[in-house]
Amino acid sequence: MNPLLQIENLETVLYTGSDPIWAVDGLTLHISKGEIFALLGESGCGKSMTARSIMRLLPDAGEIVAGSIKVNGLDILQLSEADMRNVRGKRISMIFQEPMLSLNPVLTVAEQIGEVLQRHFKLNRKMTQTRILAILNQVGIPDAAHRMHEYPFQFSGGMKQRVMIAMALAGEPELLIADEPTTALDVTIQAQVLDLMRELQQRNKMAILLITHDLGVVAETAQRVAVMYAGEIIETAPCADFFQNPAHPYSQQLFASLPGKQKRDQGLAVIDGSVPLLSQSFTGCRFADRCNRAWDLCHQSVPQWYDVTEHHQVRCHLFQGTPEPDIATPVSEA
Ligand code: SF4
Ligand code: MG
């Protein structure tokens, strides 16, 4: 199988304070053509930096220091910036949590989508207008023939998000990266936008990398999921397996502390303790200080990947095949 997106051992560093921060630390991820893949994690775990690394749109203080990112076999980290501009929008598009960060307030919706079309396709004026209208209809903008000549501020939050999706689709990308695409929206509009993304994924046969902190969004939308914690992926599985049998203690604690399982809009539950600083180097499991099943080994050695089932992998010492110490036995009775 030849995956659409292959990320191998990606390391992305931020130089913001006195010590460099490994925001993404050795991340490996494969996404197949046409698949909806969710990257799940708390804020600050490196999800957005992963997305921005794939787009090669890092903040000034950010740098990819190791690894490779291939799209259809093409290593995009080796491309010149000029070549990368042809990849962005055409092969990979991204939509952001806050539409106003990526919509230009002084251009009409038609002008902005038109710019994308002109960059990637040779279309005359009439064909461009026809295509803009078709895309806006596709994402469900009512009265699109009229509204395409309006400015972003004239649209509601949900409609702005649709305009952003329209812009991202204009180049007919093979991969759409959606970073918390519904977080800023109310629950009803969230559901509509997720429905729309699923529908477009099926119709356009594109893959979606859905970045979210919301288990409900994962459950309703994705086919596969990877859980990210402190700059690395710690569990990956088909969604059905993951929801039935979350393997990593972090994943289990996320489920356990949800008020109602798979409830939408709960966000990720709060787990005691805090995410470790990513400027340090780790001698053991990154989750050890917060893990309710940690033992000595967890603090001493970095866990490897283990198979839970053929398609379900986890990075945790509990799965290494040696018996787990009986940490439940009170010391006084031992
Ligand atoms: Fe918990 Fe140890 Fe597994 Fe890390 S390796 S998740 S500390 S049991
Ligand atoms: Mg983020």
CATH classification at residue 182: 3.40.50.300
314 falls within a domain: no
Ligand 2 midpoint to CA 295 (Å) = 31
Residue 248 CA, closest ligand 1 atom number: 6
Per-residue pLDDT of the chain (334 residues), as tens digits, is 568 999 999 999 999 888 999 999 999 999 999 999 999 998 889 999 999 999 999 999 999 999 999 999 999 999 999 999 989 988 999 988 777 778 999 999 999 999 999 988 989 999 999 999 999 998 889 999 999 999 999 999 889 988 999 999 899 899 999 998 887 777 788 888 888 888 888 888 899 999 999 898 999 999 999 999 999 999 999 999 999 999 999 999 888 867 654 444 555 556 778 888 888 889 999 999 999 999 999 999 999 999 999 999 999 999 997 555 555 444 443 3
- Same-domain check for residues 75 and 193: yes
Claim to verify: residue 86 and residue 179 sit in the same structural domain: yes
Domain match, 136 and 50 both: no
Give the ligand 1 atom nearest the CA of 297. 2
Residue 191 lies in a domain: yes
Ligand 1 pocket, CB under 6 A? 248-249, 285, 287-288, 291, 293-294, 298, 303, 316-318
The answer to whether residue 293 is domain-embedded is no
Determine, yes or no, domain membership for 206. Answer: yes
Q: How far is the CA of 47 from the centre of ligand 1 (A)?
A: 21
Residues 111 and 84 in one domain: no
Q: What is the ipTM of this complex?
A: 0.96
Same domain, 26 and 83: yes
Going by CA atoms, what residue is nearest to atom 7 of ligand 1?
288
Residues with Cβ within 5 Å of ion ligand 2? Answer: 48
Residue ID of nearest Cα to ligand 1 atom 3? 316
State the Cα–Cα distance between residues 21 and 277, nearest whole angstrom.
8
Residue to mutate, 291, 308, 324, ligand 1, most ligand atoms under 8 Å from C-beta: 291
Atom 8 of ligand 1 has which residue's CA nearest to it? 294
Q: What pLDDT score was predicted for residue 251?
A: 95
Cα of 331 vs centre of ligand 1, distance in Å, is 20
pLDDT of residue 125: 93
Give yes or no: residues 159 and 193 share one domain.
Answer: no
140 and 196 in a single domain? The answer is no
Q: Measure 263 CA to ligand 2 centroid, in angstroms.
A: 21
Q: Are residues 212 and 268 in the same domain?
A: yes
- What is the pLDDT at residue 324? 53
Q: Which atom of ligand 1 is nearest to the CA of 250?
A: 6
Looking at the fold, whether 269 and 185 belong to one and the same domain comes out as yes
- Number of folded domains in the chain? 2
Q: Are residues 178 and 75 in the same domain?
A: yes
Q: What is the 254 CA–ligand 1 centroid distance (Å)?
A: 14
Residue 302 CA to ligand 1 center (angstroms) comes to 9
Three-state SS for 306?
Answer: strand
Residue-level pLDDT at 260: 57
At 209 the pLDDT is 96
In the three-class reduction of DSSP (H, G, I as helix; E, B as strand; rest coil), residue 27 is classed as strand
Query: Which residue, of 126, 141, 172, is where some domain finishes?
Result: 172
Of 256, 275, 294, the residue at which a domain comes to its end is 275
Nearest to residue 210, comparing CAs of 175, 177, 184? Answer: 177
Q: Of 247, 275, 303, which marks where a domain is finished?
A: 275
Closest ligand by atom to 315 CA: 1
Looking from the CA of residue 249, the nearest atom of ligand 1 is 6
Separation CA 180–CA 214 (nearest Å): 9
Q: Is the same domain home to 238 and 217?
A: yes
- Shared-domain flag, residues 256 and 115: no
- Residue 202: domain span: 5-91+174-275
Distance CA 56, CA 81 (A): 9
Lay out the sheet containing 207-212: strands in order across.
92-95, 175-179, 207-212, 36-40, 224-229, 232-238, 312-315, 305-309
Residue 306 CA to ligand 1 center (angstroms) comes to 12
Contact 211, 177 (CB under 8 A): yes
In a domain, residue 77? The reply is yes
297 within a domain of the structure (yes/no): no
